[in-house]
Amino acid sequence: MLERDVEVVNRLGLHARAATRLVQLAAQFDARITLQQGKEVAEADSVLGILLLQGNQGKRVKVRCEGPQAAEALEAVCELFAARFDEQE
């Protein structure tokens, strides 16, 4: 299992559009991807689960990946967070 902490840097946080982008990205990899904020954990294939994390701007989220493409998935997810989910700000 690989993991890395990332910061939610986009202004609106993990809202519906950002969660949908994350789910679409996660589906491209043969890996189980989970996100954790505090005690809450969500699968990256669930928009509702991601929304329930309440990941507001400035919060830290732990990304965990396991499976054949775990390294590639972790890198891609972290890049999506760093790119502010491709939102204009």
Which residues are designated catalytic? Answer: 15
Q: Return d(Cα 54, Cα 49) in angstroms, integer.
A: 10
Residue 54 tokens, joined = 């309440």
Q: Return d(Cα 33, Cα 41) in angstroms, integer.
A: 11
Pairing assessment for the beta strands 60-66 and 40-43 based on DSSP bridges: unpaired
- Contact status, residue 13 vs residue 55, Cβ threshold 8 Å: yes
Q: Return d(Cα 52, Cα 46) in angstroms, integer.
A: 10
